[in-house]
C-alpha cells in the first residue's frame, strides 16, 4: 500500500509540474503573439507535448486561460496581503494588478470571451478558486479598514467589479494612437487602467466623494 501511495504522489507531482509548464508556455506564447493568435496546436509545440497530451490537461484554450487567470488572481491577492497597509489599498491594488503580467488582459476577457466558452466542470472549479481568493482579499480588507465582515465583503466585491470594468476599458486605451482619430486620442487614453481604477477605488473606499 505504501508503494502505491508513493507512486500516486509522484504521479500527482508530475501532473502538477506538467500543468505548470504548460501555463508557463502559454504565458510566453501570449506575451509574444497576443491572445488571438494562440492555438492549442501551437501551444503543444511550445510546451514540447503531443496535442493529445495537452488535451488531457486543458480541453480548450479558453479553459487554459481560465486556469491561468485563477493562478494570477491568487498571486495578486498574495502580494496585496503582503504589501498593503491602511491608507494604501487603492494604490497597492492598482500597482499590483498592473504589474502582474496578463492579469488585466485576462480579467478584461474573463466573462464574455473565456467563461462563456468553458464547460461547466472547469468553470465551477475556477469559480470556487476565485471565491476563495475573494474571501482572502475581503479578510485582509477587514483588517486594513477596521470594518465588519459584511462591509469588507461589499467593498471587496465592488473593488473587483471596478477593476474588471477598468481592465476592459484599458484594452481600448492601449490601442496604437496612430490608428485613432486625433479628436479621440486624449479621451481614449484617459481610460487607461492606471488612471481610471484608482479613482473608482477611492470612491468605493470612501476616500473621496
Which of these, 170, 31, 60, lies nearest to 109 by C-alpha position?
170
Indicate whether 7 pLDDT > 80. Answer: no
Same domain, 79 and 152: yes
Same domain, 22 and 35: yes
Phi first, then psi: give them for residue 129, nearest 5 degrees: -65, -40
Same domain, 82 and 162: yes
In a domain, 39, yes or no: yes
Task: Please give the torsion angle defined by the CA atoms of residues 116, 66, 100 and 111, in that order, rounded to the nearest 10 degrees.
Answer: 10
Using the 3D structure, point to which of 57, 73, 98 is the last residue of a domain. 57
Q: For residues 85 and 81, give the distance between their C-alpha atoms in angstroms, rounded to a whole number.
A: 9
- CATH number assigned to the domain comprising residue 39: 1.10.10.60
- CATH number assigned to the domain comprising residue 156: 1.10.357.10
Number of H helices, E strands in the chain: 10, 0
Same domain, 90 and 190: yes
Share of the chain above pLDDT 90, in %: 86
In a domain, 209, yes or no: no
In a domain, 86, yes or no: yes
pLDDT per position as a tens digit, 115-171: 999 999 999 999 999 999 999 999 999 999 999 999 999 999 999 999 999 999 999
Q: For residues 163 and 153, give the distance between their C-alpha atoms in angstroms, rounded to a whole number.
A: 15
The answer to whether 107 and 164 have CB atoms below 8 angstroms apart is yes
Indicate the burial class of 9 (C-beta count within 10 angstroms; 0-12, 13-18, 19 or more): exposed
Same domain, 74 and 3: no
Q: For residues 41 and 92, give the distance between their C-alpha atoms in angstroms, rounded to a whole number.
A: 38
pLDDT band at 2 (very low <50, low <70, confident <90, very high): very low
Indicate the burial class of 13 (C-beta count within 10 angstroms; 0-12, 13-18, 19 or more): exposed
CA 169 vs CA 77, 98, 111, 124: distances in Å: 22, 14, 14, 27
Using the 3D structure, point to which of 27, 42, 57 is the last residue of a domain. 57
Same domain, 33 and 128: no
Same domain, 3 and 97: no
Same domain, 157 and 188: yes
pLDDT for 5 equals 40
Q: For residues 97 and 183, give the distance between their C-alpha atoms in angstroms, rounded to a whole number.
A: 30
In a domain, 165, yes or no: yes
pLDDT band at 174 (very low <50, low <70, confident <90, very high): confident
Q: For residues 100 and 92, give the distance between their C-alpha atoms in angstroms, rounded to a whole number.
A: 12
Same domain, 158 and 192: yes
Domain range holding 39? 1-57
pLDDT per position as a tens digit, 41-83: 999 999 999 999 999 999 999 999 999 999 999 999 999 999 9
Same domain, 53 and 81: no
Indicate whether 6 pLDDT > 60. Answer: no
Indicate whether 203 pLDDT > 50. Answer: yes
Same domain, 123 and 47: no
Average pLDDT, the chain: 92
Same domain, 87 and 179: yes
Pairwise pLDDT comparison (39 vs 14), residue with the higher score: 39
Domain count, the chain: 2
Place of cell 466573462: 111
Measured from the Cβ of residue 182, the count of other Cβ atoms closer than 10 Å reads 7
Amino acid at each position: 500500500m505504501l508503494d502505491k501511495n508513493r507512486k500516486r504522489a509522484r504521479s500527482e507531482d508530475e501532473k502538477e509540474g506538467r500543468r505548470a509548464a504548460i501555463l508557463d508556455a502559454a504565458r510566453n506564447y501570449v506575451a509574444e503573439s497576443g491572445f488571438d493568435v494562440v492555438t492549442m496546436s501551437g501551444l503543444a509545440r511550445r510546451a514540447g507535448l503531443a496535442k493529445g497530451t495537452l488535451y488531457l490537461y486543458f480541453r480548450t484554450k479558453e479553459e487554459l486561460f481560465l486556469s491561468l487567470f485563477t493562478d494570477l488572481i491568487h498571486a495578486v491577492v498574495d502580494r496585496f496581503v503582503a504589501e498593503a497597509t491602511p491608507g494604501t489599498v487603492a494604490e497597492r491594488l492598482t500597482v499590483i494588478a498592473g504589474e502582474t503580467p496578463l492579469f488585466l488582459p485576462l480579467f478584461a476577457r474573463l466573462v464574455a470571451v473565456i467563461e462563456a466558452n468553458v464547460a461547466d466542470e472547469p468553470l465551477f472549479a475556477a469559480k470556487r478558486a476565485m471565491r476563495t481568493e475573494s474571501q482572502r482579499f475581503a479578510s485582509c480588507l477587514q483588517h486594513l479598514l477596521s470594518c465588519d465582515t459584511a462591509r469588507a465583503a461589499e467593498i471587496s466585491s465592488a473593488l473587483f467589479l471596478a477593476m474588471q470594468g477598468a481592465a476592459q476599458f484599458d484594452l481600448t486605451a492601449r490601442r496604437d494612437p496612430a490608428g485613432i482619430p486625433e479628436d479621440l486620442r486624449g479621451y481614449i487614453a484617459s481610460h487607461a487602467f492606471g488612471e481610471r481604477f484608482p479613482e473608482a477605488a477611492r470612491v468605493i473606499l470612501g476616500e473621496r466623494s
